[in-house]
Amino acid sequence: MLRDAALIAGKDLRVELRSQVTTQQVAPFAVLVLILFGVALDPDRGILARASSGLFWVAVLFCALLAIQRAFTIESADGGRDALRLSGLDPAGIFLGKAAAIALQLAALEVVLAVGVVIMYGAEVTGAPLLIATCVAATAGLAAAGTLYGVLAAGLRVRETLLPILLLPVLAPVLIGATKSFEAALGGVASDGWPWCGLLVAFALTYLAVGTLAFGTLMEEPS
Amino acid sequence: MTAPHAVGSGPSGSTSSGATRVLGGLSLAGLALLLGYALVWSPADRTQRDSVRLMYVHVPSAIVAFAACALTTVAAAMWLRRRTEGWWVLGGASAEVGLVFTALTLVTGSIWGRPTWGTYWDWDPRITSTSLLFVMLVGYLALRRIDNEAGDAAQRGTRGAIVGLLLFPNVVVVHYSVDWWRSLHQTATITRLDPTIEGTMLFTLMLGIVVFGLIFAWLLVHRFRVGWLEERVEHAGLDDALRARRAEAGVVAGLGGGTA
């Protein structure tokens, strides 16, 4: 299963590396979102610095939607979905592989966004370990839930519009937990953030388990 | 789950039967009684005054909304196990009626919030999680519509069912995380209901819950039967089309045989 996961993750990341969609389109979009927040919320009144954790995670959610759509669009071309089904790879492995590829891309985007938040919004990092732990846990949760709901919407005519409405309400706990945890890590008291980090870990583990179990059935869906 | 035999048996093809008429009658009578208790016989609250009367609608509709959500999840689980049309139709019916009650909960809550809290929308954990429930139900119903286009129950995918299955657990997780989030920096704790609610007020609230439960059941049965009839129409349409194509094929084959 893990070998299959590594294969799929390697394949997805190679596709991204060669097509450069993440680096040339999604990452600039992430920065653009930060600039737009800056324009929308008056930069002089200190709102940006206070709201930087929340804005950071909202930007991550938007980017995650793009990354998830992208992960399943590459399968829909040239009958990739059928090929995956015929490949004999363990469905659980495919799920974990796709989730891992999405997670790695999101992690890279989060680094870009974090630098952006620190430079443009003047956020101050006071708890680096908490910051990193939050990113890891939240990204795992986003990728796991995103892959599960992504395959649900994949192949449908209305997938671009359906995925956000299915996925974003489900991700509300991640947004809450990650924002609270970040608030503690950016100028707050770090010990306040760890319980929220625990919530993120629990969310990620739950969705990894559900996805591993349910992905086989969903892969068999006619699209 | 087996087919409801009485469906469409009446001359008008109505979805009502003896049982639903009784249920409907009880619902309406209960509603009249509830109105009497809520507006006339129960006293006004000491702090909330007359706006407390809205609670007799708001709390029952919230309970029914969350129960409907749980029923949808049960129906999705049963459909995944049994793959019988009944559970499929029940999941949709319950989500749809549940959506109405969720909307009612949000609207009555807002109207009640205005005189009590001074604002239509407060970022109270319950409002936040109820509004997220609303969006989740809308998403689930949108996905079901797509599944329905895929054809009959045998070809229908498991997409909608998986989302339905995750509906209630998600609502619970969202509810608790929102609760935790708000409890940390809430400036003033507002007790929504008088903690020592008793007497006529308690009775009215209980009556409201029973009456709304009846209304939910009544609407659910009707919606279920409409859904069931929709499935039948789809089958009938497919069978007709098949018969027509076969007849055409027969004619063509006959012509072909004649000229050969």
Amino acid sitting at position A122: G
- Asked if B178 and A176 come within 8 Å (Cβ–Cβ), the reply is yes
| CA-to-CA dists, residue A167 to A162, A173, B17, B183, angstroms | 9, 12, 40, 25
Q: Report the chain B residue with the minimal C-alpha distance to residue A195.
A: B180
Q: d(Cα B222, Cα B217) in Å, to the nearest integer?
A: 9
pLDDT of residue B186: 44
pLDDT reading at B229 higher than 60 = yes
CA distance B157 to chain A (A): 6
Whole-complex ipTM: 0.83
* DSSP conformation class of A188: S
pLDDT of residue A221: 63
Say if A205 is an interface residue toward chain B (CB within 8 Å): no
Question: Domains of chain A: which residue ranges?
Answer: 2-219
Local confidence band at A204 (pLDDT 50, 70, 90 cut-offs): very high
- φ/ψ of B93, rounded to 5, equals -60, -45
To test the contact with chain B by mutation, choose from A81, A152, A189 the residue with the greatest count of B C-beta atoms within 10 A, namely A152
- The structure tokens listed for B249 are 């094929």
Q: d(Cα B227, Cα B97) in Å, to the nearest integer?
A: 12
Q: d(Cα A107, Cα B28) in Å, to the nearest integer?
A: 57
Q: d(Cα A33, Cα A129) in Å, to the nearest integer?
A: 26
pLDDT reading at B257 higher than 70 = no
Q: Report the chain A residue with the minimal C-alpha distance to residue B162.
A: A214
Question: Domains of chain B: which residue ranges?
Answer: 30-183+197-223
Residue from A133, A129, A135 nearest A112 by CA? A135
pLDDT digits (tens, 9 = 90+) for B62-99: 999 999 999 999 999 998 888 888 898 999 999 999 99
pLDDT of residue B258: 45
Span B113-130, mean pLDDT?
82
- Asked if A222 and B157 come within 8 Å (Cβ–Cβ), the reply is yes
